């Protein structure tokens, strides 16, 4: 089992971080996005830094990008 922590640009709204994280955790993308949105309210910027950090360190899923487009 080879699971990688990658950004999924196929189901992306911004960078594909939530979509990639949902694939990694085997969750629905909508659930991860809602958790990020809920975290923005009390977090006052912490989820934004987490999203930015993940967007920088996560690689893009190139296999799906080449096959799909």
| 1 domain-assigned | no
For residue 51, being part of any structural domain is answered with: yes
Check: CB of residue 60 under 8 Å from CB of residue 9.
Answer: yes
Position 23 in a domain: yes
Q: Which residue has the tokens 């999203």?
A: 51
CB-count exposure of residue 16 (10 Å: 0-12, 13-18, 19+): buried
pLDDT on residue 69 = 44
Q: How many domains does the chain have?
A: 1
Q: How far apart are CA 68 and CA 55, in angstroms?
A: 21
pLDDT digits (tens, 9 = 90+) for 47-68: 888 889 999 988 887 665 454 4
Question: Domain range holding 64?
Answer: 6-68
Winning range, highest mean pLDDT, from 2-6, 33-37, 44-48:
33-37
- The mean predicted confidence, pLDDT, of the chain is 82
pTM (global) more than 0.85? no
């Amino acid at each position: 089992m080879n699971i990688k922590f990658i950004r999924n640009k196929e189901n992306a709204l911004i960078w594909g971080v939530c979509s990639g994280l949902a694939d990694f955790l085997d969750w629905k993308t909508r659930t991860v996005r809602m958790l990020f949105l809920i975290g923005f309210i009390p977090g006052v910027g912490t989820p934004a830094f987490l999203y930015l950090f993940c967007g920088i360190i996560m690689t893009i899923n190139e296999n799906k990008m080449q096959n799909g487009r």
